[in-house]
């Protein structure tokens, strides 16, 4: 009996270490895979810039796949912003979409450098108001969180824990910080083509199906950002009115029941 108890005591540190490693790997995987979506927006913005003259077949295929998948995620985010529901896909479908996303981003970045696509450094910020960038920043964050909840988290949970895991605030903090750093260091100066896509009606009229999808992505991302701002303002107003009503009730109670 004493030997069995000592074995159990020896196994406790190893079990604790295994749990810590699993949770740490889960957070790192969740954060890195969540950044695939902002990177796909970056790749679409670079390919849509005028600096690309003769794209390769690999770049065209990556662009087509990313445009279709990002359009699907953006429309799902718009649906979530309007209804509050997130579409849940079968795990095998989530695995397939995540694999295609990762392969398209990897081959797309490599092919874009080979085709001579350069980062968009000289951005005319006077053409794009700061409020448009702010709304797009929030909308892209909402799109990324929909991407995480609908696709990334189910795959990460099943791979590491073999079951669904409850949402943790710390995971959202890590994802938000990583996205903010990526936006400040890389995305902020290169999102002009997608931010301006909402105002370019010629993309719908003369840009073909890819122009229409690019316009839909920019439009859905902007609307998702606007909806988040509106919901936040309504929530703040509800809290202010709640505290004002509560203070008024307390004052009326004290006035009617003096000590």
Confidence band for 49, pLDDT divided at 50, 70 and 90: low
- Could you tell me which residue, 210 or 237, shows the higher pLDDT? 237
Task: List, for residues 171-224, the tens digit of each pLDDT value.
Answer: 888 888 999 998 888 787 777 767 766 665 555 444 556 667 777 788 888 888
pLDDT at 177: 92
pLDDT tops 70 at residue 259? no
Percent of the chain with pLDDT over 90: 2
pLDDT tops 80 at residue 137? yes
Task: Give dist(CA 109, CA 65) in Å, integer.
Answer: 13
Task: List, for residues 99-126, the tens digit of each pLDDT value.
Answer: 888 888 888 877 777 766 665 554 444 4
Query: What would the 3-class secondary structure string for the chain be?
Result: CHHHHHHHHHHHHHHHHHHHHHHHHHHHHHHHHHCHHHHHHHHHHHHCCCCCCCCCHHHHHHHHHHHHHHHHHHHHHHHHHHHCCCCCCCHHHHHHHHHHHHHHHHHHHHHHHHCCCCCCCCCCHHHCCHHHHHHHHHHHHHHHHHHHHHHHHHHHHHHHCCCCCCCCHHHHHHHHHHHHHHHHHHHHHHCHHHHHHHHCCHHHHHCHHHHHHHHHHHHHHHHHHHHHHHHHHHHHHHHHHHHHHHHHHHHHHHHHCCC
CA distances from 189 to 133, 216, 227 (A): 10, 21, 24
Q: Average the pLDDT over 222-248 and give the result.
A: 82
Domain ranges for the chain, please list them: 32-233
CA distances from 66 to 21, 30, 40, 83, 236 (A): 33, 20, 7, 25, 37
Percent of the chain with pLDDT over 70: 73
Confidence band for 57, pLDDT divided at 50, 70 and 90: confident
The pTM assigned to this predicted structure is 0.80
Average pLDDT for the chain: 76
Q: What is the biggest distance separating any 2 CA atoms in the chain, rounded to whole angstroms?
A: 84
pLDDT at 4: 43
């Amino acid at each position: 009996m004493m030997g069995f108890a000592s074995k159990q005591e020896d196994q406790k540190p190893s079990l604790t270490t295994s749990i810590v490693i699993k949770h740490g790997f889960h957070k790192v995987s969740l954060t890195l895979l969540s950044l695939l979506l902002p990177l796909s927006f970056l790749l679409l913005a670079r390919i849509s810039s005028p600096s690309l003259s003769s794209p390769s077949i690999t770049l065209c295929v990556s662009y087509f796949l990313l445009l279709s998948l990002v359009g699907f995620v953006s429309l799902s985010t718009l649906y979530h912003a309007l209804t509050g529901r997130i579409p849940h896909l079968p795990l095998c479908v989530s695995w397939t979409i995540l694999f295609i996303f990762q392969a398209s981003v990897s081959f797309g970045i490599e092919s874009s450098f080979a085709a001579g696509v350069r980062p968009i450094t000289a951005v005319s910020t006077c053409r794009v108001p700061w409020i448009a960038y702010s709304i797009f920043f929030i909308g892209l964050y909402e799109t990324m969180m929909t991407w995480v909840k609908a696709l990334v988290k189910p795959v990460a949970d099943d791979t590491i824990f073999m079951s669904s895991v409850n949402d943790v605030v710390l995971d959202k903090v890590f994802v938000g910080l990583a996205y903010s750093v990526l936006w400040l260091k890389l995305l902020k100066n290169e999102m002009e083509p997608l931010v301006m896509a909402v105002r370019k009606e010629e993309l719908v009229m003369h840009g073909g199906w890819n122009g229409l999808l690019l316009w839909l992505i920019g439009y859905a991302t902007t609307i998702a950002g606007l909806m988040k701002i509106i919901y936040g303002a309504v929530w703040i107003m509800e809290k202010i009115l709640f505290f004002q009503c509560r203070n008024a009730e307390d004052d009326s109670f004290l006035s009617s029941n003096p000590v």
